[in-house]
Amino acid sequence: MSHRISRKDFSLVKRLRSGAGLPPADAACHSRQRIRDWFATAAPVIHWGAMDAPVGRIFVAASGQGLCALNFGVEEQEFVRRLDPRARLDSSPSAVAPITGQLKEYFARERFHFELPLDLSGLTPFQCSVLETLLRIPLGEVWTYRRLAGELGRPRSSRPVGQALAHNPIPIIIPCHRVIASDGNLGGYSGGFGIETKRWLLRFEGALPPASVPEGKGR
């Protein structure tokens, strides 16, 4: 069956269009405002801000539960795009000042561990347990993927553990850079400039003597 529109139907469509018109502008405006108001009360707020650091410009974001994202080596637009798309965003340096303040102290060698509430709600329970275990690695030390898996009670799960590290939304503060391969290879790192940033952080923390670890690239 052919469903082509005839010339007669075109005139019918024209009438349909002229008859349909548009809803009154004030009605549409009222409805739009009503939905904006609902969104303003229903959607969670994420405050975000940025700071300059030796590893480049660092972006941080915090929900009502705590720090939910940290990223560097990305453009502002990309950082914002990755935040929970259902949340309302608020660019507010003062709201994230406790976070950027502690980071500044860390880079000034005045802070050795962070005291910040974290929001890991977007992760699976396994990813959370991996990242929470990472917080036990003291500054200046490194663990292997195998040891981390062992600490989690899953000694044969080095690979899933490595994958969980790749999903770390809060690098530096959750120190995934302190995990390396058993053979001394640095493994992988997706923050900043990748493996070079990982090497820089480990040297900065004193965990990596400049020439003692091979500079091979890992995952």
Partner 1 sequence: MRFEQLIEQYHDEIFAYLWRLLGKASSRDGAADVEDLTQDVFLRAYQNFERLRAGSNHRAWLYKIATNCAYSRFRGTRNGRGRLLRLKDTAIDEALERSPSSAEAVAKSRLAQRVRNLTNSLPTKQKAALVLRYLQELDYAEIAAIMNCSEPSARANVYQALRCLRAALSEER
Residue 88 makes contact with partner 1 by CB under 8 A: yes
Alpha helices in the chain (DSSP H): 7-20, 25-42, 76-82, 97-107, 125-134, 145-151, 158-166, 195-204
The alpha-helical segments, DSSP class H, found in 108-183 are 125-134, 145-151, 158-166
Task: Indicate whether 156 belongs to the interface with partner 1 (CB under 8 A).
Answer: no
* Of 31 and 182, CB closest to partner 1: 31
Stretch that binds partner 1, among 84-92, 107-115, 148-156, 208-216 (CB under 8 A): 84-92
| Number of residues binding to partner 1, judged by CB under 8 A | 32
Cα–Cα distances (Å) from 59 to 55, 85, 120, 168, in that order, read 12, 17, 17, 14
Residue choice 17, 108, 211, 212 for contact with partner 1 (CB under 8 A): 17
* Residue 176 annotated among the catalytic residues of the structure: yes
For partner 1, give the closer residue by CB, 45 or 116. Answer: 45
Told to check if 8 binds partner 1 by CB under 8 A, we report yes
Two structure tokens written together for 154:
């899953």
**200, 188 Cβ separation under 8 angstroms:** no
The nearest distance, CB 27 to partner 1, in angstroms, is: 4
Catalytic sites, residue numbers? 176
